[in-house]
């Protein structure tokens, strides 16, 4: 691990200012992904800003009837919150499907959204990777690509986004609140938070240097049946090959987001519109323009089948 300096700022504003003035600075919250990557020297911050004690760990009701989830709320606490279990079961289910008890106790809401891909070539510093070392090439395209993305990919990168929680947040139309170094705030719909790789796969989100996520806002409860179905290589503690997060209303309408198949949680309005017509029609819209490899083409079938299982469960 490279050496770095460390500070624990006293306020949110001070944290954003400290980070804005230094290119090598990074925020650290749970650290479960960042420290892993720092040990491998894939992440090499020169300065860490500890945001753990800034009072961002509360879940509050919003005047609109939704929830304001502090950026530092731990995954365990978010999944266990009574309001989330009752009104946003999809979010509880997605969180509980991810990682381990130990990791969920540390991992935070904002950190979960910004965690980086588990593409094996991103992790293997002996291999070219455009995300880790821009311009070096993509080893995954002709390599072991079974866990990787089939839609939203580019010639430069086929890494998949690993988060379960983000899939639920996408289906629930969450909005990310941030503060910048100059004190200004902004609200970013989760659909717009992550960027597709294009020819700059190392740029994964729209946040500026020093911009700190302070909360994630959930709109008022969506109702319906909320189901998260995760397909993976073992029953627990594994990343998704395909995950379906869906909210299905009694009349068959609803919304669906997919994990494990794209560089960001994947949702298409056209697919939502097709939900009443069944999994095949909706999956076709979700997978439009897919560019699978030989290794991960099975995901195209798996998306349709997992969605079919979810819709059938929703019909009860």
Partner 1 sequence: MQSPGAIEISRRDLLAASAATVTVVSAHSLSHAQTKATTESQSTKVTFKVNGESRELRLDNRTSLLDALREHLHLTGTKKGCDHGQCGACTVLIDGRRANACLTLAVMHEGDSITTLEGLGQPENLHPMQAAFVKHDGFQCGYCTPGQICSSVAMLEEIRANIPSHVTRDLTAPAEITSDEIRERMSGNICRCGAYSNIVEAITEVAGRKA
Q: 89 or 140: whose CB is closer to partner 1?
A: 89
CB of 239 to partner 1, least distance (A): 12
CB of 105 to partner 1, least distance (A): 5
Q: What are phi and psi of 194, to 5 degrees?
A: -95, 145
CB of 201 to partner 1, least distance (A): 20
Q: 107 or 150: whose CB is closer to partner 1?
A: 107
CB of 164 to partner 1, least distance (A): 10
Q: 54 or 193: whose CB is closer to partner 1?
A: 54
Say how far apart CA 92 and CA 228 lie, in whole Å: 9
Place of tokens 């796969």: 201
What does each C-alpha distance from 121 to 125, 227, 252 come to in angstroms? 7, 32, 41
Q: 91 or 181: whose CB is closer to partner 1?
A: 91
Q: 48 or 151: whose CB is closer to partner 1?
A: 48
Q: 9 or 292: whose CB is closer to partner 1?
A: 9
Q: 47 or 291: whose CB is closer to partner 1?
A: 47
Per CB under 8 A, residues contacting partner 1 are 1-6, 8, 22, 24, 28, 30-32, 35-36, 39, 41, 46-48, 50, 52, 76, 79-80, 85-86, 89, 92-93, 96-97, 99-103, 105-106, 125, 235-237
Centre a 10 Å sphere on the Cβ of residue 136 and count the other Cβ atoms it contains. Answer: 12
CB of 195 to partner 1, least distance (A): 25
- Written in H, E and C, the secondary structure of the chain is CCCCEEECCCCHHHHHHHHHCCCCEEEECCCCCHHHHHHCCCCCCCEEEECCCCCCCCEEECCCCCEEEECCCEHHHHHHCHHHHHHCHHHHHHHHCCCCHHHHHHCEHHHHHHCCCCCHHHHCCCCCECCCCCCCCECCCCCCCCCCCCCCCECCECCCCCCCHHHHHHHCCCEEEEECCCCCEEEEEHHHHECCCCCCCCCCECCCCCCEEEEEEECCCCCCEEEEEEECCCCCCCCCCEEEEEEECCCCCEEEEEECCCCCCECCHHHHHHHHHCHHHHHHHHCCCCCCCCCCCHHHHHHHHHHHHHHHHHHC
Q: 49 or 140: whose CB is closer to partner 1?
A: 49
CB of 137 to partner 1, least distance (A): 18
CB of 220 to partner 1, least distance (A): 19
CB of 48 to partner 1, least distance (A): 7
């Amino acid at each position: 691990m490279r050496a770095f300096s460390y500070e624990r700022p006293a306020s949110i504003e001070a944290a954003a200012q400290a980070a804005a003035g230094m290119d090598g600075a990074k925020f650290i919250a749970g650290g479960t992904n960042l420290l892993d990557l720092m040990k491998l020297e894939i992440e090499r911050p020169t300065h860490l800003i500890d945001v753990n004690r800034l009072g961002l760990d509360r879940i509050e009701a919003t005047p609109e009837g939704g929830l304001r989830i502090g950026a530092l709320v731990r995954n365990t606490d978010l999944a266990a919150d009574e309001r989330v279990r009752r009104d946003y079961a999809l979010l509880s289910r997605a969180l509980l499907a991810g990682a381990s008890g130990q990791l969920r106790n540390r991992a935070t809401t904002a950190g979960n959204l910004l965690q980086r891909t588990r593409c094996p070539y991103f992790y293997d510093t002996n291999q070219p990777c455009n995300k880790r070392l821009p311009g070096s090439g993509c080893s995954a395209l002709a390599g072991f690509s079974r866990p990787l993305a089939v839609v939203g990919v580019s010639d430069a990168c086929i890494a998949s986004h690993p988060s379960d929680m983000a899939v639920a947040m996408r289906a629930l139309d969450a909005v990310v609140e941030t503060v910048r170094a100059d004190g200004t705030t902004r609200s970013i719909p989760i659909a717009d938070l992550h960027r597709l790789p294009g020819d700059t796969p190392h740029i994964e989100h729209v946040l500026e240097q020093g911009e700190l996520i302070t909360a994630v806002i959930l709109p008022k409860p969506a109702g319906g049946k909320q189901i998260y179905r995760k397909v993976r290589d073992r029953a627990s503690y594994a990343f998704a090959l395909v995950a379906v997060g869906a909210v299905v209303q009694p009349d068959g309408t609803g919304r669906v987001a997919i994990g494990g198949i794209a560089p960001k949680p994947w949702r298409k309005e056209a697919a939502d519109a097709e939900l009443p017509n069944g999994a095949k029609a909706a999956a076709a819209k979700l997978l439009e323009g897919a560019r699978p490899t030989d290794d991960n083409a099975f995901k195209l079938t798996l998306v349709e089948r997992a969605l079919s299982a979810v819709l059938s469960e929703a019909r009860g």
